[in-house]
Amino acid sequence: MATTGHAVELAGLRHVFAGRGRGRRAVHGVEAVKGVDLTVEPGEFVSIVGPSGCGKSTILKMIAGLLRPAEGAVRVWGEPVTGPRRDIGIALQDATLLPWRDVMSNCLFPVELHGKVTAEARERVTGLLERAGLAGFESRRPKELSGGMRQRVAICRALADDPRLLLLDEPFGSLDALTREQMNIDLNRIWRESGKTAILITHGIDEAVLLSTRVVILSERPGTVVEVVTPPFPKARTKELMATPEFAEVCGRIRDRLFASEQRVGG
């Protein structure tokens, strides 16, 4: 496995969802993304923002090896992506925890899929749960947890097999505003302490700026990169940062860029 260079490379990425049917009921194909070029460096936290339907999740699925691009190349740690990889962890908007398993066994599920659960794996998950504020909840079932706690478990599960790359698709989208804000701070801490590379898909501009070393802005469909913004903040982020003029300036810049892109497409 390649260990140097970019964590993720996207070159000329394009994907088209095929049409179906014939005649009046025919559904035409949809070009989701086009000409996407992007590199993510080891240890970065990169967020991708853009209008609904611009192909954000499509890009994430291609990085994960769950979807094959129509054109272009996807490389992870220098290797072409041809299918799902063990060194990639994924967390989605729905925690998708197994209701009959407790927190510990839910987190260990990816490890089980790849072989025997070792003492090292259990120790790693225990440490993840502690950092996520879930120590003492190892034996609880998902129905005994709040929405925010379930999402913390989902992130711990994504990290349980010690992946080098963490992919996050709107993991906090279903949470209330206060819980989501706290989850962002928790995720920032987990990312810093784990040293992983992370890519987040989100509609939340504040969330992207709070979490990211870089924010990638996509255009309307077919999505392409229109700008990459680098928030000028230390890696450790706090709630107090969100109240500063500097934070508001970066969010405003991204918001204006997104609005300008939508205006051009809309005429």
Same structural domain for residues 53 and 127? no
Residue 265 belongs to a domain: yes
Supply 147's token pair. 């929405």
Residue in this structure with the two tokens 């699925």, named with its chain if needed: 61
Average confidence score pLDDT of the chain: 88
Residue 97 belongs to a domain: yes
SS3 197: strand
Q: Into how many domains does the chain fold?
A: 2
- Which H or E element spans position 14? strand 8-17
- Tens of pLDDT, residue by residue over 5-38, are 899 999 999 998 875 555 555 445 688 899 999 9
* Range(s) of the domain holding residue 129: 90-163
Q: Pick from 99, 132, 163: which residue ends a domain?
A: 163
Burial readout 101-136 (b: 16 or more C-beta within 10 A, e: otherwise) = ebbbbbbbebbeeeeeeeeebbebbbebbebbebee
- Tens of pLDDT, residue by residue over 108-163, are 998 888 888 889 989 999 988 988 889 999 999 999 999 889 988 998 999 888 89
Same structural domain for residues 172 and 159? no
Same structural domain for residues 122 and 208? no
Q: Global pTM?
A: 0.88
